[in-house]
Structure 1
Amino acid sequence: MNKRNAVTPFGWKIKQKLVEKQIDQKTFCETYHIPPSRLSNLIHGTRRAKKHRTQVSQLLGIEE
């Protein structure tokens, strides 16, 4: 059985900003050298990933 984690409020902010900038997650990760798994961790809250959380927050203009 494949159980998916719910998207966190911070994850929804990330998704919203990506839509506003008209960029998908894969392109965002490739452009800013962020591992796709780390972005997924941030969106679903499965790992703290502080370094990448700060980087993504700054790039997208999101308050932590």
Structure 2
Amino acid sequence: MNSKRPVTPYGWAIKQRLTELQLDQKKFCELHGIPPYRLSNLIHGTRKAERYRRQVSELLNLPLS
């Protein structure tokens, strides 16, 4: 089910940090109780998901921008 939505700069930052931490998206979501579709929303910019954006930014030490 890859509908080929573009990845936002914030999405690339998330992917890069997860790679540095040697975590895949699924494992990261399981560890922190984040619904995988919300992480996908953040990566592709399809929804704001403010609450999860703050949580993910904190966990991965990313700027909120």
Q: For this structure pair, what is the TM-score category when the shorter chain's length is used for normalisation? A: over 0.9
> How large is the RMSD of aligned CA atoms in angstroms?
1.0
User: What TM-score results when the alignment is normalised by the length of structure 2?
Assistant: 0.93
> 1:8 is matched with which residue?
8
CA distance in 1, matches of 2:36, 2:3: 19
Aligned length: 63
How far is 1:5 from its partner? 1.1
CA distance in 1, matches of 2:3, 2:32: 29
Task: Summarize the alignment of residues 6-45 of structure 1 with structure 2, pairs less than 5 Å apart.
Answer: 6-45=6-45
User: What TM-score results when the alignment is normalised by the length of structure 1?
Assistant: 0.94
Gaps (5+ residues) in structure 2? none
User: Percent of counterpart pairs with the same letter?
Assistant: 60
Gaps (5+ residues) in structure 1? none
CA distance in 1, matches of 2:30, 2:55: 14
CA distance in 1, matches of 2:45, 2:30: 21
Please list every run of at least 4 consecutive aligned residues from structure 1 whose deviation after the TM superposition is greater than 6 angstroms: none
CA distance in 2, matches of 1:3, 1:20: 26
